[in-house]
Amino acid sequence: MTRVADSVAALRRAVAAFRQQGASIAFVPTMGNLHRGHMRLMDQARQAADVCVVSIYVNPMQFNQQADLAAYPRTPDADRDKLRQAGVQLLFEPDDRTMYPHGMDQQTFVEVPHLGDMLEGEHRPGHFRGVATVVNRLFNLVQPDIAVFGKKDYQQLMLIRKMVADLAMPVTILAGETEREADGLAMSSRNARLSSEQRRIAPRLHEALCEIREVVAKSPDNTRKVVKKSIQDLGRTGFEVEYLSLRRRSDLLPPQPGDQQLVVLAAAVLGDVRLIDNMEIEQTS
Ligand code: PAF
């Protein structure tokens, strides 16, 4: 059975009871509309600790467009069923007043410099401030030993790691691999909003990242050319590419000669659905 806490007091009581039993806690923060990607993060959490706590909160602070927030899919009943089947012990499901008791404008915020300003941060101003602030508050409420974040939101994962390190938070961050549909499309709550024609085109984003990985791994001199060609090809296919960029994994800055641990990250819009994806690359030559 999954217990549900919708207030800070109920959450603290439940967490205190777990702690009294000597249980370790792994936490998976989500915005709901749970899919296989989320469920894999929960499997990982359950393997890493005695108790798995999940939060579902569609955080308005990280949406820079009202329309995007309004269109975000909410499926509370189906989510609860999935959590029950997955054996998640506790669901924290706060509302806006519980998360931001004095309103978002009055909320003390967390901002991660540099990492929070590039790529996603550049295209979605304020997004990462919203993410860092809500995750910080969730960590303080749940006080987990471990928290699990998916690599699908690669920059978010790095940002959380940086926040945890900079603020000396006693939480170990684990990364979950990206779950994909059979045709390669990264699982995302936004996929449900794709029309059938857009859904047919959408896997092209993953294919483009695979092509870039092939070229970069073998002949880094051709990186610029292949990235430029991919942007053009995706544009011709119907995507509006916001960014498609090769970075080094350590700090997401452009790679320097000798950097071998790379990642290519992309955000592209199909109609009114914004997709993000990424792929890690080992530069071997
Ligand atoms: O990745 C998400 O779903 C959200 O950004 C998170 C981490 C739950 C914070 O709202």
Contacts of 242 (CB under 8 A, 6+ apart): 123, 267, 268, 269, 274
Q: Do 72 and 58 contact (CB within 8 A), yes or no? A: yes
Report which ligand 1 atom has the smallest distance to the Cα of 30: 8
Q: Give the Å distances, CA to CA, from 212 to 21, 144, 155, 206.
A: 50, 38, 19, 10
Could you give the CA distance from residue 250 to residue 116 in angstroms, rounded to a whole number? 14
Q: Is the pLDDT of residue 255 over 80?
A: yes
DSSP letter at 186 equals: B
Q: Measuring from each residue's beta carbon to the nearest atom of ligand 1, which residues come in under 6 Å?
A: 29-31, 59, 62, 131, 134-135, 153, 156
Q: Do 251 and 117 contact (CB within 8 A), yes or no? A: no
H/E run at residue 213:
helix 204-218
What the block records as the tokens of 207 is 């294919």
Nearest CA, atom 9, ligand 1: 131
Encode pLDDT of 152-211 as tens digits: 999 999 999 999 999 999 999 999 999 999 999 999 999 999 999 999 999 999 999 999
Kindly list the structural domains of the chain, giving each domain's residue range(s) and its CATH number in brackets, ordered by start: 3-176 (3.40.50.620), 189-280 (3.30.1300.10)
When the pLDDT of each residue in the chain is averaged and rounded to a whole number, the result is 97
Q: Give the Å distances, CA to CA, from 22 to 18, 19, 155.
A: 7, 5, 34
Encode pLDDT of 82-136 as tens digits: 999 999 999 999 999 999 999 999 999 999 999 999 999 999 999 999 999 999 9
Residue 114 annotated in active site: no
pTM of the complete model beyond 0.85: yes
